[in-house]
Amino acid sequence: MEITELNEQELIRRESLKVMREIGIDPYPAESYDVNITTQQIKEDFNPEQNNLQEISIAGRIMSRRIMGAASFIVLQDQTGRIQAYIKRDEICPTEDKKLYNTVFKKLLDIGDIIGIKGYAFITQAGELSVHVKELKVLSKSLKVLPIVKEKEGQVFDAFKDPEQRYRMRYVDLIVNENVRDVFIKRTKIVNTMREFFNSHGYLEVETPILQPIPGGATARPFITHHNALDIPLYLRIANELYLKRLIVGGFTGVYEFAKDFRNEGMDRTHNPEFTVLEIYVAYKDYFWMMEFVEKMIEKVAISLHNKTTVTLGDREIEFKAPYRRLPMLEAIKEYANVDVAGMNEDQLREVCKDLNITIDKTMGVGKLIDAIFGEYCEKHLIQPTFITDYPVETSPLTKRHRSNPMLTERFELFVNGKELANAYSELNDPIDQLERFKDQVKLKDKGDDEAMFIDMDFVRALEYGMPPTSGMGIGIDRLTMFMTNSSSIQDVLFFPQMRPEKTSTEKDQ
């Protein structure tokens, strides 16, 4: 990002900064400021009949101000909300310092500045809860002008609504758009609710490597780097699955991890190259058990956030109360594409895709062809929570074969509003079968599939020591947050989404 020329208002603020220092006011003091209450707590706790909250100390950002001679009103914002403050010159300045009040408050303080105030709560003649200020301290001078929303004759001006600006300057977005903070507070509550749910079952939260010698646990294109000291390539993890299952081999009966994963693939409204996933593995369970576990967990999350199981998503009402519909993948294709693909070979599936006008390429095997049909004709119909079960072996190399059909696997994906939310298996624990599946992935890679898995011989060796029957599940925290906060874009639930480098003013002019 290039250094830009200062505009008129920015020059004025820098001059105010200079004057503050000249008259002995430190605009960026080092000492702590004692805060004993928040704006929300004042609103919740103040009782005018009891005349409580008489020694308030609060800090925040000036969001508006009205100067009326020797008295002024400001609106102060902290993390929890906004409150009005009343400032009277003669009370915060000794008589000989009235000029100082006029200089500092009227000329040097601006919207956006961070201050600390001490005083007491009261109700104004207009009936508004406010803080009567007895002491004011400058804590941080703002050198940029906030895009404060203005309204005139029903029209809104200066609203900070441009998505690219909001995502690029999230710090400003959080200041001026109060609803944005609420999304991220809810995101934290989602994670905490899930963590409490897992802990209540006795499962252990763990950490696994982000830099991995083999990018395993999913079919995806990885980011690659080089470790100079070891002189080896390393990959940013695309999944933490294989490490978590090593821990099940080691004797833990239930482990989970909230993990940052990375995939060097496309970006859109539901995908970011860096994303957060929860993965959990529980010994002696299968995918039927995991379906019940997942629907109970998501129901609990909905209630925790909304005090009910229905959630508004766009113009739809999504019902997260368990149980959810269970629909085998091949049955879904029969229902929505009106074709029975069970038992078809690759050539037959290619003909079906041609008849259905589905774009395919030569790298796609049986599994990916079936998945293409499903994606084109079925996903958009899966609005209410639905478990799609029993995926082809070719697309599920880490999954146990189906107990009644060896061409399928014991896998499910949970779909909501036409999008995948969770992915789970009865985990493959046969080391011989696992090695053969890895070899099949190598064949797909040789055909040009750059998302096919590598062979992880250490993981095969771990399975040779014996892994108990296990069920595992991964769920996208970003997408779950989108659903639970009625957000239409993944960028709205990431503090700092990945973006192209910011253009310089020269580039913008070209």
pLDDT (tens place) for every residue of the chain, 510 residues total? 556 789 999 999 999 999 989 888 899 999 999 999 999 999 999 998 898 999 999 999 999 999 887 788 999 999 999 999 999 877 877 655 666 666 777 778 899 999 999 999 999 999 999 999 999 999 999 999 998 766 555 554 556 888 889 999 999 999 999 899 999 999 999 999 999 999 999 999 999 999 999 888 887 889 999 999 999 999 999 999 999 999 999 999 999 999 999 999 888 888 999 999 999 999 999 999 999 999 999 999 999 999 999 999 999 999 999 999 999 999 999 999 999 999 999 999 999 999 999 999 888 889 999 999 999 999 999 999 999 999 999 888 889 999 999 999 999 999 999 999 999 999 999 999 999 988 888 887 777 777 777 889 999 999 999 999 999 999 999 999 999 999 999 999 999 999 888 876 555 555
* CA–centroid distance for 124 within its chain: 41
Say whether both 193 and 324 belong to one domain: yes
Rounded to whole angstroms, the Cα distance separating 481 from 180 reads 13
Say whether both 130 and 221 belong to one domain: no
Report DSSP state, residue 380.
Answer: G
Task: Provide the 3-class DSSP secondary structure of residue 45.
Answer: helix
Is there a domain that residue 357 lies in?
A: yes
Give the count of beta carbons closer than 10 Å to the beta carbon of residue 91: 16
Say whether both 132 and 195 belong to one domain: no
Is there a domain that residue 506 lies in?
A: no
Say whether both 105 and 196 belong to one domain: no
pLDDT of res. 323: 97
Helix (H) or strand (E) holding 498: none
Say whether both 209 and 131 belong to one domain: no
Rounded to whole angstroms, the Cα distance separating 275 from 502 reads 22
Say whether both 371 and 252 belong to one domain: yes
Closest to 261 measured CA to CA, from 277, 278, 282, 250: 277
Tokens of 28: 């960026």
Is there a domain that residue 152 lies in?
A: no
Q: Residue 334's domain is classified under what CATH number?
A: 3.30.930.10
Is there a domain that residue 202 lies in?
A: yes
Say whether both 286 and 391 belong to one domain: yes
Tokens of 126: 């207009």
Say whether both 106 and 193 belong to one domain: no
Say whether both 250 and 294 belong to one domain: yes
Say whether both 357 and 444 belong to one domain: yes
* CA–centroid distance for 332 within its chain: 30
pTM score of the predicted model = 0.89
| Cα→Cα distances 357→280, 336, 368, 377, 440, Å | 38, 15, 15, 11, 28
Is there a domain that residue 505 lies in?
A: no
Helix, strand, coil percent content, the chain, rounded in steps of 5? 35, 25, 40
- Residue range(s) defining the domain that contains residue 249: 179-493
The half-sphere exposure of 508 on its side-chain side, counting CA atoms within 13 A, is: 8
Provide the number of structural domains found in the chain. 2
Rounded to whole angstroms, the Cα distance separating 294 from 414 reads 9
Decide: 306 and 299 in contact? Cβ < 8 Å: no
Q: Residue 137's domain is classified under what CATH number?
A: 2.40.50.140
Placement of tokens 């639905």 in the chain: 386
Q: Strands of 298-352 (E only): list them.
A: 310-313, 316-319, 325-328
Is there a domain that residue 13 lies in?
A: yes
Examine the fold and report which residue of 124, 146, 168 is the final residue of a domain before the chain moves on.
Answer: 146
Placement of tokens 């099949």 in the chain: 440
Say whether both 95 and 198 belong to one domain: no
Say whether both 264 and 135 belong to one domain: no
Closest to 386 measured CA to CA, from 343, 426, 331, 339: 331
Is there a domain that residue 478 lies in?
A: yes
